[in-house]
Chain A
Amino acid sequence: MTDFEATNLFAQQEANRRKSRWLVAGFVVFFLWLGLGGDWIAYEYTKGLPPEQYRHGFPVLGAIMVLIAGGLVVNIRRSGASKVLWSTGAQRLDEPATQDERTISNVVDEMAIAAGIPRPTVWVIDDDDPNAFATGMKLDASHVAVTRGLMTTLNRDELQAVVGHEMGHIKNLDVQLMTLVAGLGGAIALIADGIGRMLWHGSHSRRHGGGFSGGGGGGGRKKNDLGPLIVVLIVVWILSWLLAPLVTRLLAMSISRKREYLADAMSAQFTRNPLALASALEKIEQAAAPTKSIKHGVAHLCIADPLGWRSSRREGRVSDLLATHPPMASRIARLRQMGFEPASV
């Protein structure tokens, strides 16, 4: 990262957008390969056959993968946020009664204006650990939930910065993106599991004298030679499927971390006060108790990992590859740079 990129919040936003766009593109390409790779094998396998036999022309497997993805998109666009909010026991804040509640309600108003988006509904979670998350599949029906611990731990500026981070997630449509990526990963894991079982049974029955016909080909056809291309394709494709659950998870988590950096930079844009978010993150890190009311499913939408993995390890460790959030230390360092302060104090 150049000095200009480090200190300019718009350049930081652009850098994170660009990186996460590449990661999403990689995810899509991998997903399509899982379907189209099979079609390619079937095409190569059947292209030499006489015209009266089946020849693989239309990419059926690719079409199935696209249908799965399309179905997920439609499903996600329809589903509401109520399930997530219900699972955390959040209560809707309509009539702020205490000074804290009035402040959070006002802060959400302010950040909605700064972000130029419709005001999200505010929810309060009865939990002493400071944390917050955003949810909602549409820009005009979004929700921000904060814990009581957040309201008592942070001052007004820090609260504003945290709400700004959540507004960043809402404005960037991160809820849709991450739900879709998680959904596709889940679908792939299910199919890969099925394929793994099939292979296991296939090799098992062969040992007992049964025939393993190899993919979609019929048994009684004229023998045609498997060229080296087909063998390589089959090996790579099956390996891709076996590794698919791990690969999609790594990609999804790395997209999630880029979106966290982006939301931090969005908060800096809305409040023009990156140092407030830096000090909020420091306070949240110090209160490292896990947020009991927030379950694993919404972890990637929170301001800080609710499961208590908030240590300040450096980036690059293996365990970091599976984390939803970047290490706190590097988030705080980037915010300090945006605020023209030395990265470490």
Chain B
Amino acid sequence: MNMKKSILFVLYFLIPAIMFAQVAITDSVEIKNYLNQQLTGDKNINTGFKYQNLYYIDSWCMGDVVFSTGDFIKQIPLRYDCLNNQLVWLNVKVGQVKLDNQNISEFSLYDAGLSYRFRKTKINNSDVYCELLFENKIKLFAQRKIIIGSTVYELDAIYLCYKRIPVYIFEIKGKTYFCKKPKIKSLIETFPQAKEQIKQLIKQKHLKCKSENDFIEIIKNCEEILNNIV
């Protein structure tokens, strides 16, 4: 009983002493404010056209921006213009700002509880933001490419209608492979040397490819096969 009391007695003094030792150091030893990396860009100019489905997510949503130095800015209103490969920031003071792509390496958009991560990727010697769908030994990106489908003339405006044609990009051991559609047939066309192995695996695991999410699931399962054939 006395032993217990002695231990308690020691603990009474030790716990506050340990806690007090941490007071001297704080997490505020660095200044994170306007002195750090800033978002730069041009004020967005309205060209007079009206757009339909120009953006990856049509409404403004909160997002994070990562600079090529590793610095980041969190929780700012963003929108990704898929046609012009342009990230747009809604600045409360000046309005829409087309951000300089040169400094940005990555950004994320948060919408309806989901997050979409875009990373700058080299495609045909130009930097394009591609959505990162899967990352492990191999990386799967989706270039959210859109093209002008039709032009609608109305009394008060000209509407440009767009057509979404995503391109899927595999990055395996530093090499890039393109897949046109999220289909098994396209996957086999991209990796003809793994045709049998992919077919066998899909059969074994009873996988179906009806949507983009199913396609990602298949890629996750085929990761080892794809990594080994390259």
Asked if A and B are interacting partners, one says no
